[in-house]
Amino acid sequence: MRTDTIFSPITLGAIELANRVVMSPMTRDRAGPADEPNAIMVEYYRQRASAGLIVTEGTQPTAEGKGYWRTPGIYTQQQIDGWAKVAEAVHAEGGKIVMQLMHTGRVVVPANRGYEADIIAPSALPCPALVPGPDGTPVPTAMPRALAADELPMIAEQYATAARNARTAGLDGVELHCSSGYLINQFLNPASNKRDDEFGGDAQGRVRFPVMVAKAMADAIGADRVGIRISPGNPYNGMDPIDAHDSFSAFLTALTEENSGHAFAYVHLADIKLEDMDAPAFVRQHWTGPIILNNMLTLDTANQALTNHVAEAVSFGRPFLANPDLVERFREGAPLAKPDYSLLYQGEERGYIDYPPYQAA
């Protein structure tokens, strides 16, 4: 009987992890004025490189993909150069890093962008939730325009270009953000996708564009360097949780190697604990590749998930905020530091790169 722990190495697709502790993607709103990774971002990721794998904060593949304040992009040379410094720093510490591609679709506060660009979505329906503006105060989002069917291959190609750019910058791969009510999730969910063409309607229609994007990214850089992030039933940003079973079984099934012709590196599940679904078991049922399990895990529950073959790797978000050396702390049974949550999305280096490792504390 295999007894894997969080410290056991694993290979996800083409990416070899020294341990199974993944750093979950976390938006921190600290990119430079051209949405480029800056020196404090390089230092932040360098400090956390003992994770088996870092998934970066959500990063926009295009100007239209930006909805929040100071999120980084991966579509200009300056942004690619900034990410190259991040990747170099993480690799120098022996870590691995993939970029989360996050196109927010209709979840846009125009003032967060600092430029004019279209706001696009499957249907012309605004996000019902308020979203933080430049000063952090939640405000209504703008009205999107519905994408025409003949634009969709071009949007998929933008994701593919972004994936290529991430590889050019030296990152180990990309993760497609398919949850939290952003563009891909907007296509999957019937509350935001009211299209009457082949990209809407039943679950088979609603998954068509998300699958097109995933395949375009796989064609661009190899499926073994592309992960998929989902959170079935998550109501964030106006998604209807009723959708969890239909959409996500259709989506996962379409992405399996047998059906897509691509062996994607992993599915990263943010398990929000639904009453009518055991999400890890559901993913295992519909998906044949590796699973990274996330949400509210502790050292013990993470190890249990691996021992019980619920997942192949585990990811931690908030524990990494104030514990850059989370893996070492787990190894030594050291106590975990608590973050200052008032500095999640502001403070520049404060509450960001000033959390010391355990020995120095």
Provide the minimum distance between the beta carbon of 315 and ligand FMN in the complex, in angstroms, as a whole number: 7
In this chain, which residue has its C-beta nearest to ligand FMN?
317
Q: Which residue, 47 or 100, has its beta carbon nearer to ligand FMN?
A: 100
Question: Which residues, including other chains, have CB under 8 Å from residue 86's CB and lie 6 or more apart?
Answer: 37, 41, 42, 45, 46, 56, 97, 169, 171
- Residues 237 and 305: their CA atoms lie apart, in Å, by 29
- Considering 44, 45, 68, 182, which one is annotated as catalytic? 182
Q: Would residue 236 show up in a list of annotated catalytic residues for this protein?
A: no
Q: Which residue has the tokens 């999305």?
A: 345
Q: Counting contacts by CB under 6 A, is residue 294 touching ligand FMN?
A: yes
Candidate list 13, 17, 25, 292; residue touching ligand FMN; CB under 6 A: 25
Q: Counting contacts by CB under 6 A, is residue 100 touching ligand FMN?
A: yes
DSSP for 247-283, written as a single string: HHHHHHHHHSHHHHS---SEEEEE---BTTB-HHHHH
Q: SS3 of 151, please? A: helix
Candidate list 36, 43, 57, 64; residue touching ligand FMN; CB under 6 A: 57
Q: Counting contacts by CB under 6 A, is residue 52 touching ligand FMN?
A: no
Q: Which residue has the tokens 């991040």?
A: 86
Q: Counting contacts by CB under 6 A, is residue 105 touching ligand FMN?
A: no
Burial readout 304-328 (b: 16 or more C-beta within 10 A, e: otherwise): ebbeeebbbbbbbbebbbbbbbbbe
Question: Which residues, including other chains, have CB under 8 Å from residue 180's CB and lie 6 or more apart?
Answer: 231, 234, 236, 237
Q: Counting contacts by CB under 6 A, is residue 104 touching ligand FMN?
A: no
Provide the minimum distance between the beta carbon of 197 and ligand FMN in the complex, in angstroms, as a whole number: 28
Provide the minimum distance between the beta carbon of 2 and ligand FMN in the complex, in angstroms, as a whole number: 25
Question: Which residues, including other chains, have CB under 8 Å from residue 335's CB and lie 6 or more apart?
Answer: 329
Strand spans (E) along the chain = 10-12, 15-17, 21-23, 53-55, 97-101, 120-121, 131-132, 138-139, 145-146, 173-177, 226-230, 266-270, 291-294, 313-316
Candidate list 50, 60, 295, 323; residue touching ligand FMN; CB under 6 A: 295
Q: Counting contacts by CB under 6 A, is residue 339 touching ligand FMN?
A: no
Q: SS3 of 229, please? A: strand
Provide the minimum distance between the beta carbon of 317 and ligand FMN in the complex, in angstroms, as a whole number: 3
Q: Which residue, 206 or 268, has its beta carbon nearer to ligand FMN?
A: 268
Share in percent of the chain as helix, strand, coil (round to 5): 35, 15, 50
Q: Counting contacts by CB under 6 A, is residue 296 touching ligand FMN?
A: yes
Which tokens in the block code for residue 218? 């796989």
Q: Counting contacts by CB under 6 A, is residue 48 touching ligand FMN?
A: no
Provide the minimum distance between the beta carbon of 347 and ligand FMN in the complex, in angstroms, as a whole number: 12
Where does this chain touch ligand FMN (CB under 6 A) — which range of 33-41, 146-154, 289-297, 306-314?
289-297
Provide the minimum distance between the beta carbon of 180 and ligand FMN in the complex, in angstroms, as a whole number: 6
Where does this chain touch ligand FMN (CB under 6 A) — which range of 2-10, 24-32, 125-133, 236-244?
24-32
Cβ–Cβ under 8 Å, residues 3 and 309: no
Provide the minimum distance between the beta carbon of 227 and ligand FMN in the complex, in angstroms, as a whole number: 11
Q: Counting contacts by CB under 6 A, is residue 318 touching ligand FMN?
A: yes
Q: Counting contacts by CB under 6 A, is residue 112 touching ligand FMN?
A: no
Q: Which residues bind ligand FMN (CB under 6 A)?
A: 24-27, 57-58, 100, 102, 177, 180, 229, 270, 294-297, 316-319, 344
Active site residues: 182
